[in-house]
Amino acid sequence: LIDISQSKKNFIQCELLFWFKSNKRDYPWRHTKDPYNISIAEIFLRQTFADKVTPIYTEFIKKYPSIFALSKANPLDLRSIIHPLGLLYRAEQIKELATVLIIKFEGVFPNERAPLESLPGIGPYTASAILCFAFGRDEAMIDTNVLRLYRRIFNSFEHSTKKGPDKMTITIAKQMIPMGLSKVYNLSLLDFSAKVCTHYSPRCTTCPLNLICLYAKGD
C-alpha cells in the first residue's frame, strides 16, 4: 500500500486549503453542526446536484426543524417537498430515520460509526459526514469526485476494478487527513474535485497539484 511522504502530504494539504480560501462553495448545510441538518442534507445530496438541493433543504428545515418535528410529518407532505429532487424513496427513508432514532436513541444522534450506520438511510459516507461536520472527528470522506481526484494524483486506478472506494484509495484518504483540520480539508477536497479535477476535462495545466500529480505527468 502507498505510504505518502510527509512533504507530499504537506504540499497537497496546503495547496488545497489555499485554493479553498478563495474558491469555496457556500451551502446552508455548511453553516451547521447539527447532525440532524447534516444527515438530511447528505441524504438529499445523493445523486442530486447541490444547487438543486439548496432551496428544498431550506424549505424542509424550516418546516421540520428537528427530528421530533420530522417524526410527526405526514408522509405525503414529505414526498411533496422532496418531489423536485426525484428519488422519492428518500421521503420514507428520512421518516424511518426519525422513528428509529427516537425509539432506539431517544432522538439523539450517536457519535460513533457503528450505531450511526445502523440507522435507516445512513451509510458509511453519511456517517463520515456526520462524524466530521457535527462531531469534529478526523474522518476521511470519499465521494465519487474525491475518489477520482486521489486515483489521479496517486495513480491508484490499477489497484481497483470496483466503482466505489477501494482499499488503496481509502488508505490514501485516511493518511491525507490533516489532524484537527478535517472539516475544512474535506470541504476543500469536495469543491476542488468538483471544480478543477473534473470528470471529463480536468484543468491540469493550471492545477496547483500538477507538479506532483501522476495523472498530469502521464505516469
**110 phi-psi bin (left φ>0, alpha ψ -120 to 50, beta other):** beta
Grid cell locating 29: 448545510
Query: Applying CB under 6 A, does 176 fall inside the site for ligand SF4?
Result: no
Query: Applying CB under 6 A, does 56 fall inside the site for ligand SF4?
Result: no
Quick one: which of 110, 121, 165, 202 contacts ligand SF4 (CB under 6 A)?
202
Stretches 27-35, 77-85, 95-103, 149-157: which one binds ligand SF4 (CB under 6 A)?
149-157
Which residue is it, cell 501522476?
214
Query: Applying CB under 6 A, does 204 fall inside the site for ligand SF4?
Result: yes
Query: Applying CB under 6 A, does 61 fall inside the site for ligand SF4?
Result: no
Query: Applying CB under 6 A, does 210 fall inside the site for ligand SF4?
Result: yes
Q: Residue 21's CB: how many other CB atoms inside 10 A?
A: 9
Query: Applying CB under 6 A, does 12 fall inside the site for ligand SF4?
Result: no
Grid cell locating 112: 460513533
Q: How far is the CB of 124 from ligand SF4 (least distance, A)?
A: 24
Quick one: which of 152, 169, 171, 182 contacts ligand SF4 (CB under 6 A)?
152
Query: Applying CB under 6 A, does 197 fall inside the site for ligand SF4?
Result: yes
**Gap between the Cα atoms of 141 and 183, Å rounded:** 10
Query: Applying CB under 6 A, does 17 fall inside the site for ligand SF4?
Result: no
Q: Which is nearer to ligand SF4, 32 or 210 (CB)?
A: 210
Query: Applying CB under 6 A, does 215 fall inside the site for ligand SF4?
Result: yes
Query: Applying CB under 6 A, does 209 fall inside the site for ligand SF4?
Result: yes
Quick one: which of 70, 91, 129, 207 contacts ligand SF4 (CB under 6 A)?
207
Q: Which is nearer to ligand SF4, 90 or 152 (CB)?
A: 152
Query: Applying CB under 6 A, does 67 fall inside the site for ligand SF4?
Result: no
**Site residues (vs ligand SF4, CB under 6 A):** 149, 152-153, 196-197, 202-204, 207, 209-210, 213, 215-216
